[in-house]
Amino acid sequence: MTDATPDDRLLEAARRGDEDALTALIERYQPRIYGFGMKMCRNPEDAQDIVQETLLVAARAVRDFRGASSVSTWLYTIARSFCIKKRRRSKFAPESIVSLDGEDGRGALDLPDRGRAADDLLHDRRIREALEQAVAALDPAYREVLILRDMEGLAASEVAEIMGLSVEAVKSRLHRARASVRQALLPLLGPASAAPGAPGCPDMVTLFSRHLEGDIKPDTCAEMERHLARCGRCKAACDSLKDTLRLCRMGPKPQVPQAIQESIRAGIRELVAGKA
């Protein structure tokens, strides 16, 4: 087994009781689940509990998991349930700033770089703080969709399965969340981005968000491109959404504390020994 071994092969071996395969599968998802816990609960101790509880529950249930959904969807669904419980009991107010340090850099969208690259912007402390505040200010239902889709990089269909929503509902929330975060970042994205469209201009930000989700018909897309070619303000609006989404998906890989990693490994060894 190597780092390139597909999830399904690791899963098959783990079901047969292969401890190395189970450990490899769990460790593959450790950083992502930890980062998700950080974004959702905004507290390192809660995130540490979530990653341990999620991965040990998955390790215990691996023989019963038949792959009806992807491994990532399965794990995020478990993690989300623990996040919800933590949030209900948390002493931290919903308005507290989300930590984005757990972002794993896995892009939800393939967006070309332009001008002053978003990675340059991200090094600006002001824009990092503004992004954190903008995400934290979202209603929890919209924040969760944005985190799963644009930060964790899951497909809209996976987000829908995790949250128990229709794909259409996920996309509707996603468009609103993207527009809200972009709006909050406008003062730092440049004056051209903040200029309103001319009278009669379409809602280009929503249209472009829908385009990224594959929900714009070819004739509408062609008309969009023609409009952008002649309207600098609408083009700047689309560019600012691109920058916003790149900022959402970027950041250092989360570092799961070594003690937590060792605790998870020990838990897996005990489970495997108990089932032998």
pLDDT digits 0-9 by tens, 195-231: 666 778 999 999 999 999 999 999 999 999 999 999 9
Assess whether 34 and 70 both reside in one domain.
yes
Domain count of the fold of the chain: 2
Identify which has the larger pLDDT, 128 or 8.
8
**pLDDT for the residue numbered 39:** 87
Q: In CATH, what number is assigned to the domain containing residue 29?
A: 1.10.1740.10
Assess whether 124 and 37 both reside in one domain.
no
Assess whether 110 and 86 both reside in one domain.
no
| Band of residue 136 on the pLDDT scale cut at 50, 70, 90 | confident
**pLDDT for the residue numbered 70:** 93
| Band of residue 95 on the pLDDT scale cut at 50, 70, 90 | very low
Domain that holds residue 152: 106-250
Number of neighbouring beta carbons within 10 Å of residue 18: 16
Contact (Cβ atoms closer than 8 angstroms) between residue 62 and residue 11? yes
**pLDDT for the residue numbered 272:** 85
pLDDT digits 0-9 by tens, 139-183: 989 999 999 999 999 999 999 999 999 999 999 999 999 999 999
Mean pLDDT of the chain: 85
Region 16-29: mean pLDDT is: 94
The pTM for the full model equals 0.83
CA angle 112, 117, 122 (to 5 degrees): 120
